[in-house]
Amino acid sequence: MNDDGRIKLLMGITLSEMGGAQKVVYDIISSLPNDRYELTLVTYPGGELIQWVRDLKYKKDIDVRIIEVPQLRRELSPFYDLCAFLRLYSIMEKGRYDIAHFHSSKMGILGRLAAHMAGVPKIYFTVHGWGINEYQPKWLQGMLGFAERVAGRRCTMCMCVSNYHMDMGLRHGWLEGDRACVIYNGIDEPPASKGRLPMELQIGDEMPIIGTVMRLREPKQPVYTIEVFNEVLKRGYRAKLVIVGDGPMRADCKNAIERLGLEEDAYMLGTRLDARELINDMDIVAMFSKWEGLPISIIEGMFAAKPVVVSGVGGIPEIVSHGIDGYVIDGFGIQEGADYICTLLEDKELRACMGGAGKEKAMACFSKGGMVKAYERIYREGKKY
């Protein structure tokens, strides 16, 4: 504990790029009482999260220490991973933190082990999605599973963003039942402003917009989303596709748009700080992922009263009730995804009804205030509630 009585809390996440886990980290940091916690953020250099946290000094007079660790990588690298581990250990051994809370798979493994060796009294890990999946080689799944089991036994508590991920962790032995709980992701209510997107794209208010907000990388399948949209247009429906986000698959997306002749109908807007305002102008929010945690962008769509069409992976079925506040598809058949989008395009009243049901659920179950209170209670008590 600091000299002024504040709890020394280190928050660690692998990358600082814009994403759901980064938004959760930011919301926790920006919402904890400044007179109760002294905060440190540890992450890879650069990225939106670092800038958001720096801006807190001017927005809320919250001064967060930021430590950048260039050795952190999403990809496996024995050399860089060892260097990152040693750097994390040094940071925590010198910092004498009361609590270390880690997010994302790489930081979760390295951070928990380093915190244990450094003698941090309370060590927490939030599972936003296991970094182990069926698309990986068997030897890699086995190695990562072993690392999760070792790290999990050196953790005070593991918080999962869905029951799906907690059940998976318990089944594989990555979690221990008495040291695991579920805390759903939560966000603020959306801004009220509307009309920015049609004005920016110079399209009429009557033109339906199918939108998605995501990091353009392989698990999110952005090219598949473009192919589903192409099928919708082939069936004779009028609509525009808006993709908000950036990432390593940006060139693949542009190539797909050109290959399918969608240059006049599909828009790639890149990373946008006003993404939530843009969602207000969308008529349908879509996301077709191979694997997921509990995607913030889907919750944002529900808060904005938009029906969603999503893949039934990870914790998504715990957010979206099929046929009530959106549609959940199994697999990656282009026809099925297009079927549900077309159903919504045909019926404005259905879109409004599903959107309203989604907003009601989001406000009741996925509020930022509820999420932060749950985390702070874990910090104080060191156990699940």
CA distances in angstroms from 125 to 9, 159, 360, listed in the order given:
13, 6, 29
Name the CATH superfamily housing domain 7-186+367-381.
Glycogen Phosphorylase B; (3.40.50.2000)
Interior CA angle at 363 toward 229 and 327, to 5°?
Answer: 30
What are the domain boundaries of the chain?
Answer: 7-186+367-381, 196-365
Which pLDDT tens digit goes with each residue over 270-316?
Answer: 999 899 999 999 999 999 999 898 999 999 999 999 999 999 999 99
pLDDT for 133: 83
Owner of token pair 């159903």: 343
Which pLDDT tens digit goes with each residue over 205-263?
Answer: 899 999 999 999 988 999 999 999 999 999 999 999 999 999 999 999 999 999 999 99
Do 7-186+367-381 and 196-365 have matching folds? yes
pLDDT for 5: 83
Its CATH class, for the domain covering 196-365, is alpha beta
pLDDT for 265: 97
Q: Burial letters for 25-41: b for 16+ Cβ neighbours within 10 Å, e otherwise?
A: bbbbbbbbeeeebbbbb
Per-residue pLDDT of the chain (385 residues; tens, 9 = 90+): 676 789 999 999 999 988 889 999 999 999 999 899 999 999 999 889 999 999 998 888 889 999 999 999 888 899 999 999 999 999 999 999 999 999 999 999 999 999 999 999 999 999 999 988 888 899 999 999 999 999 999 999 999 999 999 999 999 999 999 999 999 999 998 888 899 999 999 998 899 999 999 999 988 999 999 999 999 999 999 999 999 999 999 999 999 999 999 999 999 999 998 999 999 999 999 999 998 989 999 999 999 999 999 999 999 999 999 999 999 999 888 999 999 999 999 999 999 999 999 999 999 999 999 999 999 999 988 765 5
Q: At what angle do helices 105-118 and 138-152 cross, to 10 degrees?
A: 40
The three-class DSSP label of residue 331 is: coil
> Nearest 5°: phi and psi at 42?
-120, 125
pTM (whole model) above 0.85: yes
Q: What is the DSSP annotation of 187-243?
A: BPPPP----HHHHHHT--TTS-EEEEE---SGGG-HHHHHHHHHHHHHTT---EEEE
